[in-house]
Amino acid sequence: MAPFTSFFSILTLFLCYAPLKYSATIIPSTNSTKRHHKWVGPSGHLFITVDARGTGDFLSVQAAVDAVPDNNTKNVLIKINAGCYVEKVVVPVTKPYITFQGDGRDETMIEWHDRASDRGTNGQQLRTYRTASVIVFANYFSARNISFKNTAPAPMPGMQGWQAAAFRISGDKAYFSGCGFYGAQDTLCDDAGRHYFKECYIEGSIDFIFGNGRSMYKDCELHSIATRFGSIAAQDRNSPDEKTGFAFVGCKVTGRGPLYVGRAMGQFSRIVYSYTYFDDVVAHGGWDDWDHTSNKNKTVFFGVYKCWGPGAEAVRGVTWARELDFETAHPFLVKSFVNGRHWIAPSDA
Ligand SMILES: *[C@@H]1O[C@H](CO)[C@@H](O)[C@H](O)[C@H]1NC(C)=O
Ligand SMILES: *[C@@H]1O[C@H](CO)[C@@H](O)[C@H](O)[C@H]1NC(C)=O
Ligand SMILES: *[C@@H]1O[C@H](CO)[C@@H](O)[C@H](O)[C@H]1NC(C)=O
Ligand SMILES: *[C@@H]1O[C@H](CO)[C@@H](O)[C@H](O)[C@H]1NC(C)=O
């Protein structure tokens, strides 16, 4: 992974609070903190509150993350009170077991505005993966009831360098529930590792879920704001030996079209939609082979299983996106797709 550099500037936006430096001691949590991950690993708890109005331990989310010791071995619950936190946040690889818990995805928001063509402190262009407003390198991260946004304006078709991610997950075993992800091109960078997204709202225009993660999206809404042409998922699996792929189960596809539901970012891209509702927004053909020259339509695994709604027929629009039978679909329907039995509690699945 390329080293991360960022530059901060204080700015105040309408309805948003700029973070200020503020330090406080961390209060150990009481037993009332619910443990939601039942694996053998962390022991003990740390409870930290972030409040934009000053009634918590910290005013900014990054300050709270900075307060977690390196090589953390505790369950850390960072409670982020209602408010809009205008800052770029990085959770380094040395800080596993952190949970961000908001007051609701319409109440707590973390936002920033980097674009791929913007330059970092070293003068180099950030490029897509480093634009995310929140970047998580650590394992066992989770987020509940909070939103992440990139506020860079949406590009017009054909504009270069406007990729602007809201969130990037590069750690393994990450869990998200009741979260919102807002952006346009490349909103959610589902980069690497096993991830589970439950009842999340993900909004964007082009490839707005992308990367080489091995992820299940359960009961999520995928909302397109594309102006001329859009695409939901671009999955980057590059070898038949990789276990990565995106499994969408019980999701709902809404917004503006026309849009491709999946694109072959990697040669062996894997994307499956099951029990998913499609509004009438799916482009003719439904899927895109990315470049027309690599014959990815022969090596990808794109499938649908029991999908419905006015756009569902278009999702079966090419011969290389198959209607799966139950046997073939089954691995993409259950949390064992992400080995969830070992790290996702039954009540969280
Ligand atoms: C916390 O809960 C555990 C098990 O639920 C119990 O064994 C332990 O005594 C409790 N600790 C405190 C400080 O209450
Ligand atoms: C964290 O672990 C790494 C690798 O074991 C070690 O080099 C480093 O000194 C540790 N840091 C702290 C603060 O304990
Ligand atoms: C998240 O929000 C939902 C819906 O408002 C609520 O039922 C749930 O208890 C919340 N979860 C947490 C951890 O706050
Ligand atoms: C696969 O893509 C190539 C190149 O665009 C095209 O010529 C071919 O007809 C496609 N095959 C199928 C089965 O759609």
The DSSP string of 6-54 is --------TT-B-------PPBPP-TTSPP---SS---SEEEEEE-TTS
210 lies in a domain? Answer: yes
| Residue closest to 101 by CA, chosen among 38, 173, 48 | 48
Q: What is the pLDDT of residues 224-239, one digit of tens each?
A: 999 889 999 999 999 9
Residue with tokens 């490839």: 207
Q: How far is the CA of 317 from the centre of ligand 4 (A)?
A: 13
The closest residue, in CA terms, to atom 13 on ligand 3 is 144
Q: Would the pLDDT of 17 be above 50?
A: no
Q: Would the pLDDT of 28 be above 60?
A: no
Q: Would the pLDDT of 247 be above 50?
A: yes
Average pLDDT over residues 19-34: 41
By mean pLDDT, which of 10-14, 24-28, 67-71, 263-267 is the weakest?
10-14
23 lies in a domain? Answer: no
By mean pLDDT, which of 119-123, 217-221, 320-324, 343-347 is the weakest?
119-123
The fraction of the chain above a pLDDT of 70, given in percent, is 88
Average pLDDT over residues 278-300: 95
332 lies in a domain? Answer: yes
141 lies in a domain? Answer: yes
How many domains does the chain fold into?
A: 1
Q: What angle do CA 113, 118, 120 make, to 5 degrees?
A: 100
Q: What is the pLDDT of residues 96-139, one digit of tens each?
A: 999 999 999 999 999 999 988 888 888 888 888 899 999 999 99
The fraction of the chain above a pLDDT of 90, given in percent, is 77
Average pLDDT over residues 283-294: 94
Q: What is the pLDDT of residues 40-77, one digit of tens each?
A: 578 899 999 999 999 999 999 999 999 999 999 999 99
Is 207 in the active site? yes
Q: What is the pLDDT of residue 162?
A: 84
By mean pLDDT, which of 120-124, 188-192, 324-328 is the weakest?
120-124
Q: How far is the CA of 31 from the centre of ligand 1 (A)?
A: 6
Q: How far is the CA of 92 from the centre of ligand 2 (A)?
A: 13
* Closest atom, ligand 2, to C-alpha of 94: 1
d(CA 249, CA 312): 14
Residue 138 has, within 13 A of its CA and on its CB side, a CA count of: 26
Whether the Cβ atoms of residue 205 and residue 225 lie closer than 8 Å to each other: yes
- The β-bridge partners of 210 are 189, 234
175 lies in a domain? Answer: yes
For position 197, which CATH number holds? 2.160.20.10
Q: What is the pLDDT of residue 35?
A: 53
By mean pLDDT, which of 60-64, 114-118, 143-147, 324-328 is the weakest?
114-118
Whether the Cβ atoms of residue 261 and residue 229 lie closer than 8 Å to each other: no
pLDDT band of residue 15 (cuts 50, 70, 90) is: very low
Q: Please name the residues in contact with 64: beta carbons below 8 A apart, sequence gap of 6 or more.
A: 48, 50, 57, 58, 78, 80
9 lies in a domain? Answer: no
27 lies in a domain? Answer: no
For the chain, the average pLDDT equals 89
pLDDT band of residue 265 (cuts 50, 70, 90) is: very high
| Residue closest to 126 by CA, chosen among 150, 100, 158, 94 | 150
Q: What angle do CA 268, 274, 277 make, to 5 degrees?
A: 120
Average pLDDT over residues 15-24: 39
Q: What is the pLDDT of residue 86?
A: 97
Domain assignment of residue 276, given as a range = 79-348
65 lies in a domain? Answer: no
Q: Would the pLDDT of 338 be above 60?
A: yes
The closest residue, in CA terms, to atom 5 on ligand 4 is 292
The ligand placed nearest to the CA atom of residue 144 is 3
